[in-house]
Amino acid sequence: MTEQFFTNRVALITGASSGIGRATALRLAAAGAKLGLAARNGAALQEVADQAAEAGAALPIPTDVTEPEQCRRAVEATVERFGKLDLLICSAGLSMRAYFEGSALPALERVMRVNFFGTLYATHFALPHVKRSRGSLVAISSVTGLRGIPSYGVYGASKFAIQGLYESLHLELKKHGVHVGVVSPAFVDTPLRDNVLAGDGQPWHVPPPPPFRIWPVEKCVDRIVRLIVKRRREIVLPWFVGPMLALDRLLGYGFGNWLLERKFPEESPP
C-alpha cells in the first residue's frame, strides 16, 4: 500500500539533511517518491540525495528556511525538476531548553524563525502547487506544541504557532481537496537532541537528559507515513499522549503541572 501510494509522487522535505527529515526522505524514496531535499548543510544534503537516488530521483537544494526567497526557490526548483508538487513536509527545526527568564532575545527569535517561519515560508510557496495536485501539507510539530512545559517555553511557542497555522489551513483548504496534517512527537532519537540550545543561544555541552522515553526515529517516520496515506489531521507519538492530555485538562491541569515542574527543573549549562 505504501509503495503504491508514493510511487511517482513528488515531495519537498525541509530539514532533509538529518534527523526526522532525512529518515523520512529515505523512506519515501524507497517507496518510489521523487524528492526535493532542502536544508542548510549542503554536504550532508548531498549524502542523503545520493542514498535516496539509489531508489528513485532526488534533488538536493541548499536552503535556509528562515529566508523566504530561498524557500521559494526550493519549491520552484522541485516543480521545475519533477513537473509538480504533491507533498510538502516541513521538518526543519531547532530545539531549545532553557527557562524564559534570563534567555537572550536573539536566541529566542532564532528558534521562532527556524521552527515557525521556516514552516510558514515553505507552506506559503508550496500551497498553490499542492492545491493543484490535491496533495498534502505536513508539519512536524511536538508534544510541546500541545501543552506548556517548563524550560520549553519558546520552543513550545513555535510549535503552538505551527498547530494554529495548520489547524486554520485544514479548515480553509479541505473544500479544495488538500490534506493538512501535523505530527507531534515526544523525544525522538535524532541529532537535534545533541544540539539543544541553552538560554544564551549556544548548544549545551551536555544536554539535560530527557525525563521520558526517547523514541526511535523510524517510529516517528511510521507515523508520518500513516498520516499522509490515511490523510489524517494529526498523529501524536506516543499514542497515549493524546488521552493523557485530555485527562489533564479534565483534572484542571493540577497533576500535570505538578509532574512537569519536577521533571523539568531549571538547570544551568555546565
Contacts of residue 187, Cβ cutoff 8 Å, sequence gap at least 6: 193, 210, 212, 213, 214, 215
Q: Could you list the beta-strand ranges (E) of the chain.
A: 10-14, 34-39, 58-62, 87-90, 136-140, 179-185, 234-237
Does the bond joining 238 to the residue before it have cis omega, within 30 degrees of 0? yes
Contacts of residue 2, Cβ cutoff 8 Å, sequence gap at least 6: 31, 225, 229
Catalytic site residue from 121, 152, 155, 166? 155
Active site residue 155: yes
Backbone angles phi, psi at 10, to 5 degrees: -110, 125
Give me the active site residues, please: 155
